Amino acid sequence: MQGEAAVSQLDRNVFSSLDDRDNLGQAVSLGAAYSNKATRLLGKSIGRVNWQMKWNQRTNQFSPLDREFRPEFNHKWNLATAELQTMENRLESNLQFQPKRFMMFSLDGGFIRRGSSISSQRGKAVLSLPDSNIVKGEIFGETVHSETFRERSDWRRAGARLGRVFWKLLPYIDFRAEDRQLKNADSSLTGFSFLNRAVGVKMHAFLGMNWNLVSRIREDFLYNPGQFEKRLKLSTSATHRVSFSILSSKRWQGRFSVVYRKKDYEPFFEQLPADSMMKYQPDPQFQDTSWNDRQSHLGNLELQYRNERRTIDSRWNYKIASELSALQEKVFLEVDENRGNYRFDETLQEYVPDPQGNFLLIILPTGKFESVTNIEASWQLRYRPRIQKKKPKGLKKILKNISTFTFLKLDEKSREQNIWQLYILNLKKYHTPATTLRGRYTINQDIFLFERNPNFGITLRSRYRDNLSNQFIDAGFNETNRTWDRSVSWRQSLLKRKLTQELEYKQALNFRSVSAIPSRNRDVNSRIGVVRYNYRPVYAWQVRLGVEAGFQRDRAAQNPLSVRYLEVKPQVNYSVKGKARAQAQLSFLNVKITENPLDLPIPFEMGKGKKEGNSLLWNLRFEYFMSNHVTVTVNYNGRRDAGAERTIHVAQAEVRAFF
């Protein structure tokens, strides 16, 4: 047995003493349990018995410390959340009796009262046959009766799932029926009922996998408010599911499932005016909110392969699902300076990203929804050679220290009607402006030389992105964007790892096409060199220096433009272990136009988004740890962009306490 009592005091208005007499609330919880694996009656063992009982009571003024979370509370008690009060008196009991190993009876019931006019009683009986050699399954029946100040409701539920094992097969049938009646204050009767029938088969260890195939038919009905206790057929739906999982293996792991569902509504309800729906649908939390024919499908594949030496790791992921989607609208909301993430560039006549901008981007869906298919498919392959006990020499040493990582991904939201072409990844049906709302191809390739060596390494890297955006009502935001970055980097540690240097050369292609506004088209070719140094002579001090130089050329016919830029970024860090740390950072950027026959402004994709001239950005940051629970932070940013009328200063100080 166990018990718990709680008292709460909540003042909802500390500036007034009005109604303070009801600030105090109480709650009590009592519970009891009994369990015996070999219960005896008249000297004979009758089997296993488990019993539990719980009683809760609390006043309307009680305020719990945490937000309550009761899964399926409304369905369990047949009550609407909006009508519930905090005051509660609830008693629940559960009895399980298992006379034989293959048979178990369960009785579950209780009552609940919320306030003076809301109550509910429920009871449920279950017969389980988990290990029977004749038939396996479960049979249950349940009834719930609830009353509120507006209506009385009876909800009856019953179902059965039975099957029998033949060799490695388990064929089964599944049946479920529910009937919910609402007797309103005006003596009218509304509600719904449904009948769900299914057949399926499970296969164990077939072709190295466990299988489950099931087909389900469901019929839904609504009570006719114009004819007492008469029902009207609402819809018929068919659901088919196939799934399998690979048996435990040293090399392979994976699972797959696909579900297809079609729901057809009766013509009477499809043509019913919107203002008449509430007459048949008084409680949308338990009923469909739209009566239109629709199809839905869901597919999922997860597959992984590892060789015995664990040098190769390959993974496949595939997800496809139907959903309702609407065209979107981009809205830029003007806020105070330094509060936004976008700014409007007067020369480019478009919004560009800026962490210290004065516009916030808000994406709003329009009201018109349509059925689309969302696909995500990816494959990755990693190869890392094993560590050699004997160090090889010469060319063999190089080959034994090459590792790779490959990643491919397809992400598409499509209106394509032939969904099977999407299922089999027919690329001709992908990335087409006529059917694609949003599409993206991603191809990453890394080749590492001496990846595990902390003193030296070379990396060859490629990043390809192909994005198609066709989901905004403003055609100026719909565009095609392709980027391809290729780089080679050299990493080396010197002076007993106190100094690290990195050399990198990168070629980048950035293609942008906006059909509605050709002036925004881009075809930028970039060649960039980067040098980075990181020097840490002692723990307390760290000095960094980065130098980046680039040459960029826009090859678009309407925007012939070439620029070069140079960026220098020194940084100094100082720290006292466990006490404080400080950081000073400066960024100097010089942008120079080398060719501009049409006297065009520099687009955001070139010159790191800055105008011609010198741009400065500096940052000072200090953190002091007063204790393990209190931290003081002071941060200051300064910014002076080329062509700007003034310098922007942003300072922030804060104290954080952790409890």
* Tokens describing residue 270: 């499809």
**Does one domain contain both 533 and 432?**
no
Residue 62 within any structural domain of the chain: yes
Residues 6 or more apart whose Cβ sits within 8 Å of residue 655: 630, 631, 632, 633
Residues 6 or more apart whose Cβ sits within 8 Å of residue 219: 194, 195, 233, 235, 236
Least confident of 68-72, 155-159, 177-181, 642-646: 68-72
Residue 300 within any structural domain of the chain: no
Residues 6 or more apart whose Cβ sits within 8 Å of residue 182: 151, 152, 153, 189, 190, 191, 282, 283
Using the 3D structure, point to which of 295, 322, 345 is the last residue of a domain. 295
**Does one domain contain both 97 and 133?**
yes
Residues 6 or more apart whose Cβ sits within 8 Å of residue 273: none
Classified as helix, coil or strand, 229 is coil
Using the 3D structure, point to which of 112, 134, 156 is the last residue of a domain. 156
- The model's pTM is 0.78
Residue 215 within any structural domain of the chain: yes
**Does one domain contain both 467 and 494?**
no
**Does one domain contain both 512 and 649?**
yes
Q: According to the model, what pLDDT value does residue 73 have?
A: 82
The pLDDT tens digits for 168-182 are: 899 999 999 999 998
**Does one domain contain both 5 and 92?**
yes
Q: According to the model, what pLDDT value does residue 70 have?
A: 66
**Does one domain contain both 41 and 146?**
yes
pLDDT band at residue 91 under the 50/70/90 scheme: very high
CA distance 439 to 446: 24
**Does one domain contain both 463 and 324?**
yes
Question: What is the β-pairing status of strands 151-163 and 169-184?
Answer: antiparallel
Residue 424 has pLDDT above 70, yes or no: yes
Residue 187 within any structural domain of the chain: yes
Question: What is the β-pairing status of strands 541-554 and 561-576?
Answer: antiparallel
Nearest Cα neighbor of 198 from 219, 179, 182 is: 219
- The CA-CA-CA angle for residues 5, 10, 12, to 5°, reads 155
The domain total for the chain is: 4
pLDDT band at residue 125 under the 50/70/90 scheme: very high
Locate all alpha helices (DSSP H) within 51-100, ordered by sequence: 73-77
Nearest Cα neighbor of 137 from 128, 147, 126 is: 128
**Does one domain contain both 464 and 398?**
yes
Residue 521 has pLDDT above 80, yes or no: yes
Domain that holds residue 393: 307-477
Q: According to the model, what pLDDT value does residue 283 have?
A: 66
Residue 302 within any structural domain of the chain: no
CA distances from 129 to 140, 146, 198, 345, 597 (A): 12, 31, 19, 71, 84
**Does one domain contain both 8 and 80?**
yes
Nearest Cα neighbor of 315 from 382, 245, 385, 221 is: 382
Q: 330 and 360 in contact (C-beta within 8 Å)?
A: no
Residue 71 has pLDDT above 70, yes or no: no
Using the 3D structure, point to which of 260, 295, 330 is the last residue of a domain. 295
